[in-house]
């Protein structure tokens, strides 16, 4: 674990020469591919019942023993697995969440991060830097979501990865903010309703409206029923660039606005502002990763590149959010902590100020 921390940050590498520290940063592609291969082979699942040798794992995963062993050795150097003195490999706290059958599993996200469509997009990052246009569109000659619709296997993996991420972030957001203050919430762009279901499960006195494209909301019924909240949710097929239903105490935008540049994000915020007309006590709740201060590590700065490369969107820091909100008739009323997922509570500013 310490080794991994040292490579990610300066803690254990400060004494190394600058050129070595710089080259360590280029190792990301190697580490990412190692994790993707081990996730594809489901090695963590095979180790769920106890340690195994490389030979045993090779048989179970239909892999070449020597090659698999060398890949596992790298993973163990980063604390993902443990290489024991007897040559067997065992799970660690990192590989526990690489299993497919545990709460909070990140296997699908690891698989998604290793897909060809992301690797090819990042391979064209220079195109984005020079033109300001999404690399994904330059590579595939279509936008990201059209590509997912036309490639069902890629779309299904993306949905599973986002669902796994949403479950993890939902718990963090619910622990940090009291959504129960609002008796009626609208989850705008809420997908199949996972986050709304988590909110309503935590707050049985609240009701919700799920708003998203028909192709997405059509799959919500089973999830809401399984969560036991279907009787408290109205599902409304819609588009957040169009008029939104009125009459809610709060409108939630979770992981929506980062997909869009400021112009398109402002258009979405304008629709929410219209829906809150005449409701000075109404709230907009933006759930996003809040980018932290300069010269400090936080994952939001990497996620921001994902948004840039895939959609032309962006993760934003507090000042950028305040500017965008002010331009669309909102103001931030809480003080969210940067460098993590956060709830930005916003109130509509009266037209007279």
- Which residues form the catalytic set? 258
Burial 198-233 (b: 16+ CB within 10 A, else e): bbbeebeebbbbbbbeeebbeebeebbeebebbebb
Asked if 179 and 202 count as a contact pair (C-beta separation under 8 A), the reply is yes
Among all chains, which residue has been given the structure tokens 């929506």?
256
Among all chains, which residue has been given the structure tokens 């460098």?
339
Residues 298 and 290: their CA atoms lie apart, in Å, by: 9
Residues 185 and 200: their CA atoms lie apart, in Å, by: 9
Asked if 185 and 236 count as a contact pair (C-beta separation under 8 A), the reply is no
At 97 the three-state DSSP class reads coil
H-helix or E-strand containing 127? helix 125-131
**Residue 239 neighbours by CB under 8 Å, 6+ apart:** 213
């Amino acid at each position: 674990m310490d080794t991994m921390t040292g490579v990610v940050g300066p803690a254990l590498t400060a004494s190394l020469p600058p050129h070595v520290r710089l080259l360590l940063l280029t190792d990301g592609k190697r580490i990412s591919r190692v994790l993707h291969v081990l996730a594809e082979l489901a090695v963590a699942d095979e180790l769920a019942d106890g340690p195994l040798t490389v030979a045993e794992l090779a048989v179970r995963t239909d892999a070449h023993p020597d090659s698999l062993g060398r890949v596992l050795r790298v993973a163990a150097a980063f604390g993902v697995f443990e290489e024991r003195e007897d040559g067997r490999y065992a799970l660690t706290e990192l590989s526990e969440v690489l299993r497919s059958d545990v709460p909070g599993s990140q296997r699908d996200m690891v698989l998604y991060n290793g897909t060809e469509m992301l690797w090819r997009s990042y391979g064209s990052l220079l195109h984005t830097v020079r033109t300001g246009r999404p690399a994904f569109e330059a590579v595939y000659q279509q936008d990201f979501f059209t590509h997912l619709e036309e490639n069902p296997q890629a779309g299904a993996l993306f949905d599973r990865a986002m669902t796994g991420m949403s479950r993890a972030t939902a718990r963090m957001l619910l622990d940090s903010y009291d959504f129960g203050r609002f008796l009626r919430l609208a989850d705008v762009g809420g997908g199949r309703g996972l986050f709304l279901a988590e909110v309503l499960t935590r707050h049985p006195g609240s009701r919700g409206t799920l708003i998203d494209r028909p192709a997405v909301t059509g799959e919500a019924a089973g999830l809401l029923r399984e969560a036991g909240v279907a009787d408290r949710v109205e599902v409304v097929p819609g588009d957040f660039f169009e008029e939104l239903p009125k009459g809610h105490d709060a409108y939630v935008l979770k992981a929506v606005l980062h997909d869009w540049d400021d112009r398109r994000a402002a258009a979405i915020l304008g629709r929410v502002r219209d829906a809150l007309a005449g409701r000075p006590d109404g709230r907009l709740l933006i759930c996003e990763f809040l980018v932290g201060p300069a010269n400090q590590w936080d994952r939001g700065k990497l996620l921001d590149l994902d948004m840039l490369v895939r959609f032309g969107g962006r993760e934003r820091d507090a000042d950028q959010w305040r500017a965008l909100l002010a331009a669309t008739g909102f103001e931030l009323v809480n003080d969210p902590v940067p460098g993590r997922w956060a709830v930005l509570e916003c109130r509509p500013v009266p037209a007279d100020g």
